[in-house]
Amino acid sequence: MKSHFSLILLSTLQCNADCDYCFENKTTDRLTLDRLGEMMRKVLDYMVERSLDALTIYWQGGEAMLLPPSWYEQANEMIRREADARGKEVFHSLQSNMLSYSSRWNQVIADMFGNSVGTSLDYPNLHRKLLGQGPESYNQIWARRVREAQAAGIAIQVIAVPNQGTLDIGAERFYDYFVEELGITEFQINTPFPGGDAAAKHELPVADVENLSRFYRELADIWLERGYPRGIRIGPFDALLQHFSHEPTQLPCIWGENCANTIVSIDARGYVAQCDCWVTSYPDYHYGNIFETANFGELLRTSPVRQRFNERPIQLIQRDCLSCDYLSLCHGGCPVRTYTVHGSLFEKDPYCGLYKAVFGRMERAALELAQTAVAARAVAV
Ligand code: SF4
Ligand code: SF4
Ligand code: SF4
C-alpha cells in the first residue's frame, strides 16, 4: 500500500467573506509562485527522506479563489515537475466558498482538481456573511455560483456546520434543503467548535451536545431510510457505515490514530502547524516557519509543539478513553475541538457522547444491512 501525506495549504489569507465563526486571522498575505516553489521542494524532499509515496494538497484560504486560475495552472505545472523529479505523486483538492467562482475556473478545476470543489454552507445560515452584508446575500450568491458550477459538470461537495437554528428546524428540514432543494448528493456535517477569539464563536451549540447528538441521530435515520438507497452520501455516516461493514473507507481526520503523523498545514506566510484550524489562529502552536529552515523534516522532528500532539493519543489511551469500546475507531477525537473547549490537548474530545451515539447507530445499521443481505440470499436459493 502506498504511504500518503496530506498538506493543507493556505495560498492566501485574504477572504471575501466575514463569517462570525471564522477561526482564520485574515491578512493580505498571498503566496507567490517563487515562494510556493521553495516550499514544495522542501516538502517533497521530506517525502523522499521519509519514503512517502503520495501527497494530497488541500488548497484553502482565506479564500483560495482570490488568486487567479492562471496562478493555479502555473502552480500545478511547477509542482508536477518537482514531484516527477523525485518520483512522487501529488493530488490536488480545492476548498472554496465559491463566491468568486466563474466559468474562468472550469479548465483548472478539471485539470488540477478532478472537476470537483469542496465548499461550505450552513442551514439556516446564521453566521456565514459577505463582507459588510447579512447571511441572506451570502446564500443567494453561493446558490447561484454552485448551480453554475454544477451546470458546467463540476461536482460540489458541501460541508455544513450545525448551529442553534439547525437544531431548531430539525433534521428532516435540514436534509430536504440540501438534497431536495439544492440537489446536493454529497455533503458532510462537521461539529462546531469555538475557534479563534470573537464572541460569536462561543455561541455555537458546543455546550448543547445532547441536542446536537439527537440531531445527528435523526439525520442518520433519515439518511438510512431515504438517502442511502438513492446513493446520497452524508459524512460521517457513510464512512462509518462502511467501517462497521468491514469495507475500505476513509474516516475523517478527527478519528485518526494521530493526525500529527499524516497531516500538516502551511499558510501563505510559511507558518507550519497541525492544520488550518491552528495555523493562523494559534501562533503559540506553530511548529515553525518553512522559509526559515533548510530542512522541513527537521522542523517537524524538533518541534516541541508537535511533540505534544504526538503525546496526546498515548495519554488519552492511558486515562479517559482506556475502557471505551470505540477506542480503536476514535482515538480520543480531535485535538482542536478539545483545545478550544478545555484549553488543553490532553483531554478527550468534548463531542465524545455524540460520537458514541453515532458510532452505535451506524454499527446497528451495518448489522441490519448485513442481516437483510443474508435473508435475501436465503430466499434466492
Ligand atoms: S469563507 Fe472561510 S475563511 Fe472566509 S470568513 Fe468564512 S470561514 Fe473564514
Ligand atoms: S486538529 Fe482536528 S481538525 Fe485538525 S487535523 Fe487534527 S483531527 Fe483534524
Ligand atoms: S468515544 Fe469518547 S471515550 Fe471513546 S475514544 Fe472517543 S473520545 Fe475516547
CATH number reported for the structural domain that contains residue 271 in this entry: 3.20.20.70
Domain identity same for 314 and 273:
no
Mean pLDDT, to the nearest integer, of 354-379? 93
Of 347, 197, 202, 189, the residue nearest 280 (C-alpha): 197
3-class DSSP assignment, residue 347? coil
CA of 264 to the centre of ligand 3 (A): 23
Q: Considering the chain, what percentage of its residues have pLDDT values greater than 70?
A: 96
Q: What is the pLDDT of residue 128?
A: 87
Mean pLDDT, to the nearest integer, of 298-304? 98
Domain identity same for 336 and 210:
no
The protein residue with its alpha carbon nearest to ligand 3, atom 3, reads 321
Say if ligand 1 is within 6 A of residue 19 CB. Answer: yes
Mean pLDDT, to the nearest integer, of 113-117? 98
CA of 331 to the centre of ligand 2 (A): 12
The protein residue with its alpha carbon nearest to ligand 2, atom 6, reads 259
Domain identity same for 319 and 293:
no
Q: Which of 257, 327, 329 to mutate to test the pocket of ligand 3 (most atoms within 8 A of CB)?
A: 327
Quick one: which ligand is closest to 326's CA? 3
Domain identity same for 216 and 247:
yes
Mean pLDDT, to the nearest integer, of 134-152? 92
Q: What is the pLDDT of residue 13?
A: 95
Domain final residue, candidates 303, 327, 346: 303
* Cα angle value 300/281/67 (rounded, 5°): 85
Domain identity same for 259 and 345:
no
Which ligand 1 atom lies nearest to the CA of residue 18? 5
With a cut of 50, say whether residue 199 has pLDDT above it. Answer: no
Quick one: which ligand is closest to 64's CA? 1
With a cut of 60, say whether residue 204 has pLDDT above it. Answer: no
Q: What is the pLDDT of residue 206?
A: 54
With a cut of 90, say whether residue 200 has pLDDT above it. Answer: no
Domain identity same for 275 and 242:
yes
**26-83 pLDDT, tens digit each:** 889 999 999 999 999 999 999 999 999 999 999 998 999 999 999 999 999 999 999 9
The three cell numbers locating residue 277: 484550524
Mean pLDDT, to the nearest integer, of 140-162? 95
Domain identity same for 45 and 106:
yes
Q: What is the pLDDT of residue 136?
A: 84
Domain identity same for 269 and 328:
no
**216-268 pLDDT, tens digit each:** 999 999 999 999 999 999 999 999 999 999 999 999 999 999 999 999 999 99
**302-355 pLDDT, tens digit each:** 999 999 999 999 999 888 999 999 999 999 999 999 998 889 999 999 999 999
CA of 94 to the centre of ligand 3 (A): 31
Mean pLDDT, to the nearest integer, of 270-275? 98
Count of structural domains, the chain = 2
Domain identity same for 150 and 294:
yes
Domain identity same for 252 and 337:
no
CA of 66 to the centre of ligand 1 (A): 12
Domain identity same for 55 and 141:
yes
Helix or strand run (H / E) with residue 318: helix 304-318
CA of 91 to the centre of ligand 3 (A): 32
Quick one: which ligand is closest to 340's CA? 2
Q: Would you place residue 207 in the very low, low, confident or very high pLDDT band (cuts 50, 70, 90)? A: low
| Ligand 2, CB cutoff 6 Å, lining residues | 253-254, 259, 263, 274-275, 277, 334-336
Domain final residue, candidates 249, 273, 303: 303
Q: Considering the chain, what percentage of its residues have pLDDT values greater than 90?
A: 81
Q: What is the pLDDT of residue 376?
A: 83
Asked, as a colleague might, if the bond just before 194 is cis with ω within 30 of 0, I would say no
CA of 242 to the centre of ligand 3 (A): 19
Of 91, 85, 77, the residue nearest 6 (C-alpha): 91
Mean pLDDT over each residue of the chain, to the nearest integer: 93
| Ligand 3, CB cutoff 6 Å, lining residues | 320-321, 324, 326-327, 330, 332-333, 348-349, 352, 355-356
Domain final residue, candidates 275, 303, 331: 303
- Which residues have C-beta within 8 Å of that of residue 162, sequence separation ≥ 6? 122, 174, 189, 191, 192, 205, 212, 215
Q: What is the pLDDT of residue 126?
A: 86
DSSP state of 182: S
Domain identity same for 208 and 79:
yes
Q: Would you place residue 195 in the very low, low, confident or very high pLDDT band (cuts 50, 70, 90)? A: low
* Cα angle value 240/246/249 (rounded, 5°): 50
DSSP characters over 212-235: HHHHHHHHHHHIIIIIGGGT-EEE
Domain of residue 324 covers 306-380
